[in-house]
Chains A and B, each alone.
Chain A
Amino acid sequence: DAGVIQSPRHEVTEMGQEVTLRCKPISGHDYLFWYRQTMMRGLELLIYFNNNVPIDDSGMPEDRFSAKMPNASFSTLKIQPSEPRDSAVYFCASSLGRVHSGNTIYFGEGSWLTVV
């Protein structure tokens, strides 16, 4: 299996620009997660989906962030407008079945975002 695929791997953008991060989960996985990692705050869960439906978006920092999952094989995380404090590594992850049952989460390699 190809694993969780994220794009772009690296992006440098100017403050105020729109940023779109993309994710293809592992085929057949019905949970998809977006995490953000910074030195100051560590790994934070932003939002997760079950069967393409957003379940918990309480970690989304503010209205500038939005996430969609139009189908089982694709999700986007959008930041509009971007700010320097959004600079971080954004990880997408997916899971087969419920995490609390012991199913594991598989992470992508991350999208490294720098906003200047």
Chain B
Amino acid sequence: DAKTTQPNSMESNEEEPVHLPCNHSTISGTDYIHWYRQLPSQGPEYVIHGLTSNVNNRMASLAIAEDRKSSTLILHRATLRDAAVYYCILRDPSIGNEKLTFGTGTRLTIIP
């Protein structure tokens, strides 16, 4: 499986933008980059995903480096509700294998 590397934890002030980095230097050409987050006492929830181009949705933006070896999840205006563990995940490249393998993620703390 291709590996991802994320900081263990980050802090941000409420109502400020947050940039969550992820390194994936061994990514293959067909791997999608998925971001999920897990709020306290809840199951993980989808945030965003992309392949090559930058992506935007109502929750966040995903900026993917030109060489695809890193990506950044951007929360444009953090709220207290965004405090969660954020997982950057690469899809297992094995043909027919649908696993999403979660790492340890980044624990994001929002400071009021």
Contacts and interface: CB of A to CB of B under 8 A. Distances in A.
Interface of A: 4, 31, 35, 42-43, 45, 48, 50, 55-56, 91, 93, 95, 98-102, 104-110
B45 A100 contact: no
Contacts of B96: 55
Given A100-B32, A102-B51, A107-B44, A56 B101 contact: no
B46 A105 contact: yes
Interface string B85-98: 00100011100111
Interface of B: 30, 32, 34, 36, 42-46, 49, 51, 87, 91-93, 96-104
Contacts of A91: 43-44
B98 A107 contact: no
Given A42-B102, A100-B32, A93 B43 contact: yes
Contacts of A100: 30, 32, 91-93, 97-98
A108 B43 contact: yes
Contact of B98 (A42, A48, A109): A48
